[in-house]
Amino acid sequence: MKPLLNKTTKPFIIYVLVILTISIPVYYFVVDNIWQSELDEHNQIIVEKTAYEFNQLKLSGKQLEESLQLWNHIQPETNIEKISADQIRKDSVYINEKALLFTSENKKERYRCLKKVIYIQGNPYLFTIETNIEESHETIGIIAMITVFFFIMIVIGLLYLNRRLSASIWKPFRDTLNRLKTFNLNSQDKIKFPASDITEFEELNQALQKLIERNISVYKTQKEFTENASHELQTPLAILKNKLDLLLQDHDLTEKQYLIVEDMNRALTRSSRINKNLLLLAKIENHQFDNSEAIVLDEILYQIIAILQEHFEQKDIKLGQEIASNIRVNGNSSLIEVMINNLIINAIRHTSQGGFISIRLTSSVFEISNSGDKELNEDLLFKRFSKLSANNNGSGLGLSIIQEICKFHHWTIHYRFENGQHIFSINL
């Protein structure tokens, strides 16, 4: 990711570069046209001044011819020749290229030419004048270099101003951002943002202040609800379960009544488990757990495997273990125990009699795989109360709880089906 100023500066620099690049040929055509216009005016003045000077000399016909020959000889870029009345034409302006015969290099240069009919002592003469315009290229080159110089100056100036602006103008924004990063909803401490003389930042601080106050209020309400629900609902559920347990021990029950009470007891047990799981999900989502404990993950894993050993033996499940030692993570030990327990229980529940389960733990991944028949629907896998099998013993919340615990610890969980195995892997 890039800072905001860099994102705005880059398009601006590109825009300036494009404009300055376009300006160079524009400069060329504009300066060249101005140059040619000035040369046309210069040529016109030379022609008119020459005609005026010759008329002022009051030369005889022979002297005039000799003077014109001398003029044409010593002025190589001009030519004056006598024409008849039927050869009179309008002024002609054009550009001509010709080689420089007096240089060793075979070099060509451009000339701005003017052909104009003048009258000397009442007779028409065709005056041709050629003026070198090659100097305009040098002017354009200088303009291009100056343009590049100023572009470099603009870029350097923008980069320098960016650093200064980033350190001063954006300081209130960074202060606000740093305070937001340290805000913890569990502590419920309100943030006091620093005052800013920039309207937008002050409005942002006020909006954030109101948002945080509302979130703290909602959080308190949700927390009170979950705490009340935890205490108030579990108590009547426990009483009902105890009453049903006592009823099941009554020898006067008929077989039909016993089956009904047993079904009620199972439904009540499942309801109690669903209630506990929903409360656990609410607490995780409300960040009511601390995640700063230093945990040795392999030790917890071995303890849970030992506790569930009886379940493996009941279904004659072969267990493969590849567990690295001294795997340490930061998190909440209670939630991690729930996550590992749910994953293993889920694997046992969905493994057929005589199947196998493999558990692998490394410094970067925790993986559980079990034998299976077909791939599970990933769209429904982590949805609450989704039914992926005909097994109704679960609450339908196990995988949802696992996913929320992973999110709480900033881990990611993935599912894949390979070689007849369901594989759940958690990237630590």
Look at residue 231 in the predicted model and tell me its pLDDT: 66
Crossing angle of helices 171-181/199-248, nearest 10°? 10
Look at residue 44 in the predicted model and tell me its pLDDT: 92
Q: Taking a C-beta distance cutoff of 8 angstroms, is the pair 162, 154 a contact?
A: no
221-258 per-residue burial string, b: 16 or more CB within 10 A, e: under 16: eebeebeeebeebeeebeeebeebeebeeeeeeeeeee
Look at residue 361 in the predicted model and tell me its pLDDT: 92
Look at residue 104 in the predicted model and tell me its pLDDT: 58
Where along the chain do its domains lie?
4-156, 200-285, 293-427
Structural Rg of the chain based on CA atoms:
47
Look at residue 118 in the predicted model and tell me its pLDDT: 92
From 1.10.3470, 3.30.160, 3.40.30, 3.30.450, which CATH number describes the 4-156 domain?
Answer: 3.30.450
Half-sphere exposure at residue 22, Cβ-oriented, CA atoms within 13 angstroms: 5
Neighbours of 277 (CB within 10 A): 20
Look at residue 128 in the predicted model and tell me its pLDDT: 93
Q: Taking a C-beta distance cutoff of 8 angstroms, is the pair 383, 393 a contact?
A: no
What's the 3-state SS for 52-108?
Answer: HHHHHHCCCHHHHHHHHHHHHHHCCCEEEEECCHHHCCCCEEEEEEEECCCCCCCCE
Look at residue 31 in the predicted model and tell me its pLDDT: 79
Query: If you classify domain 293-427 with CATH, what class do you get?
Result: alpha beta
Torsion angle of the four alpha carbons 177, 182, 183, 187, in this order, in degrees rounded to the nearest 10: -170
Residue type, 354: G
Closest CA to 342 of 398, 269, 302: 398
Please provide the DSSP assignment of 191-223 as one string.
Answer: P-PPP-SSHHHHHHHHHHHHHHHHHHHHHHHHH
Per-residue pLDDT of the chain (428 residues; tens, 9 = 90+): 566 666 677 787 788 888 878 887 887 788 778 888 888 999 999 999 999 998 888 888 888 888 988 888 888 789 999 988 888 888 899 888 877 665 556 677 888 899 999 999 889 999 999 888 766 567 777 877 887 888 888 888 877 877 777 777 778 888 888 888 877 766 667 778 878 778 888 888 888 888 888 888 887 777 777 767 666 777 777 788 888 887 878 777 788 888 888 888 888 887 777 777 777 877 777 677 777 788 899 999 999 999 999 889 899 999 999 999 999 988 888 899 989 998 999 899 888 888 999 999 998 899 999 988 888 877 778 877 666 555 555 566 778 888 888 988 889 999 988 888 899 999 98
Look at residue 304 in the predicted model and tell me its pLDDT: 92
Q: How far apart are CA 371 and CA 373, in angstroms?
A: 7
Look at residue 191 in the predicted model and tell me its pLDDT: 78
Length of the chain: 428
